[in-house]
Amino acid sequence: MSSTSPNWPYYLPKPWWRVVVIVLIIVLGGTTIAYAMGHGAEAVAAVAIAAVSAATTQGVRALLRARPRRA
């Protein structure tokens, strides 16, 4: 994956670090959910599920907003 072309991640929002943070939240949240469910910590799992769904919503919104508009 080369970042030399000018419109490399044209579909990513300008603050690309936000995308990285969102992906991290989703991945870590998923791991937390699986671990908490396996250890009977439903409250922890519920918080993790809320964080993941919020991050997913933000990510989808950002992608939809950043997509090139068709005339």
pLDDT in tens, 15-54: 677 778 888 888 888 888 888 888 888 888 888 889 889 8
- pLDDT at res. 19: 77
Domain coordinates in residue numbering, the chain: 16-66
- 43-67 in b/e form (b: 16+ CB < 10 A) is eebeebbebbeebeebbeebeeeee
> Is-contact 9 16, C-beta < 8 A?
yes
- pLDDT at res. 11: 57
Place of tokens 């419109």: 7
Give Cα 33 distance to the centre of its chain: 15
